[in-house]
Structure 1
Amino acid sequence: MVKQLPEKLSLRQRWIFFREIENYMNAERPRLVLDCTNIHQMDRIAIHVLLRCLEEAMKRNGDVKLAAIPREALATLERIGAIRLFEVFHTTQEAVNSFHQAPMYAISQELLSGSSPLASEQAA
């Protein structure tokens, strides 16, 4: 699911946003891409929304990825260290596509264990 964050998130807008994604986030392994195109200022409420989405997704073995974050908002996430919690992509399409690729740690583990097709070919 791709969900665009509104430009400004008041307390009421935050509540509406969570209601809109509630059913999706309650599913098993939710995969959410947050389109941050409109977020120019990453304030407390916006950061809370990002972290709460991630928390709810992780409770169900899912993930949240961020896309199209303007430079100023990205700088705020970097400054507070929250950027380390998310994968960040230039476009929503890149973020969506990343859900269909094997994570790098899984590929690394296959190579280390020798269970990958590449390792099998090299052993032969």
Structure 2
Amino acid sequence: MASKIQIKLNGQRAASIKEKEHIEIEIPEGKANLKVTQFTANSNKITVKDGDIIEITSTPFYRISVPLIVPILFLVNLIPNLTYRLIISGAFFALIVVSQFYFKIFNLRVVANKRGQHP
């Protein structure tokens, strides 16, 4: 089971959400900046207003990179020299962690507004 995604309004943690879960968050000032994070992974920042319905999806980078992890690790294990194998494995894991800081893993978008306003 994946860890919860943290929802931040104006930089402050507002709620947590699981995959396929729907929640409502009150926006106290009628308008706020919204961003989500999960460990070091983050999203784009969008401005939301009261009544907006937001969709959280994974980015193409995430959908492509995650399935590649297992085959790459398998290929690394084929390297006969243990020292080289450890160096390459360490560099690969460092690349994964660093990429989460530089690439957005989640994409946020306003899909509708409950009050009938256009997003």
Higher share in strand: 2
TM-score range, shorter chain: under 0.3
Bigger RCO of structures 1 and 2 (CA < 8 A, at least 6 apart): 2
Higher share in helix: 1
Q: Give TM-score, length-normalised by structure 1.
A: 0.23
Q: Give TM-score, length-normalised by structure 2.
A: 0.23
Pair member with larger Rg: 2
